[in-house]
Amino acid sequence: MQQRTSTTEEYQRQINIIKDYINNNLDKPIDLSELAEISHFSPYHFHRITRALIGEPIGSYIVRIRLETAAKLLRYTNMSVSEIAYRVGYDVPTSLSKAFRQQYGISPIDYRTNKEYTIMKEQPGTKGLSLF
């Protein structure tokens, strides 16, 4: 006899689908109602469930992933800040610079040139730090 997956496991599976969608579409506007539709949750339940399972509001999660991706691209590629801004979903490079400075306390260009600077941020739901 095959067991049914628990509700929490099913919710986590749907959230993983959403996370994949976000990671694969950072360069596009991400519509929260579209995410709710993809997850097969009502918008109300989508926000409630994502906050519970991700540990932060979905909008904050998207911004965090965009900035973390930008930091990785700055550190490990030769792409210009403008190219990176567009790749992670910012319409204007100055918007990336402002958000990056607010989040990490350093400009994107300074982060790229200062290899000693380490961004450390505790990941929601984990006890460790994410370093890159």
CATH of the domain at 81: 1.10.10.60
Identify whether 48 is part of a domain: yes
Model confidence, pTM: 0.83
- Residues 33-69 have pLDDT tens digits of 999 999 999 999 999 999 999 999 999 999 999 999 9
Identify whether 40 is part of a domain: yes
* Residue 115 pLDDT class (50, 70, 90 cuts): confident
Identify whether 1 is part of a domain: no
Euclidean distance between CA atoms 41 and 14, whole angstroms: 9
81: nearest Cα among 98, 99, 89, 93: 93
List CB contacts of 86: < 8 A, sequence separation 6 or more: 27, 93
Identify whether 29 is part of a domain: yes
Euclidean distance between CA atoms 18 and 45, whole angstroms: 14
* Domain span including residue 89: 7-131
Identify whether 2 is part of a domain: no
Q: How many domains does the chain have?
A: 1
Predicted confidence at residue 5, as pLDDT, reads: 63
